[in-house]
Structure 1
């Protein structure tokens, strides 16, 4: 999890602005109507945030109860935290379980493919017949592509799980 450092928290010692949408959400969800109080609440919660996640040009700060979405020094919105919802916690554990299962299977496949690639490379080095070399080269290309696809799947699953706040 990404903890905001003191330096990151200090970057907001400048001017934080609230969009009209953020002002409305602070009023609806937190009960804060005063702009200065809203900015102070945002500063405090950014400093207390459990983790920080960059999504494109936006930064999401996760607290126990809320997610503060910033675009530079501008507060875009404040929304209830996925982590605060009991159903969400249940889903998070299911996501973690399925992601771990997927990764376990893909890593086992990757290990088998890696061994097959090495064995094929050894056969290639031993081969003398041009037809055999061509055949082994085609097989090696196919295995290498399959290995690359598995590695891509593993990275994609890890990133997808991170999007739900799950570390695998």
Structure 2
């Protein structure tokens, strides 16, 4: 077996595994990646993953094939293969980290509603009685939330209001003057 064929075997196997992972991800089956980074909470994705490892071997194999095809010596071919592998490893790892940072869990943080304005959707009775509802244009979505108010007189539909407090998913509002 020649030096050229060793690089070629690595390149073909890595290309096949990479193509298989790509095809599986098209059907939603390749979404689970082993991540060996110690801090993998939230949107943080480690560089050392199966996809970036496949990228290293893909770059290593094809970099070696290219260097051998240019009649470089074995030492130069290994250096080119290693450099190309590390480059592919970093490109894929950084790309995956960037893509994962775009994820959002969509959970509404009710504390961000304080101070926001909206309008009464369903008339809000007075004296903190339940039964009213407001609409608030939150930056991520239009919210329809149960609402109460401290005033004595009901707030009719369409009244502009400001959120002053949030308790257990119920907003306390006051009319805007």
- Bigger radius of gyration, 1 or 2? 2
The structure in which a higher percent of residues are strand is 2
Which protein has greater RCO, CA pairs closer than 8 Å, 6+ apart?
1
More helix by share: 1
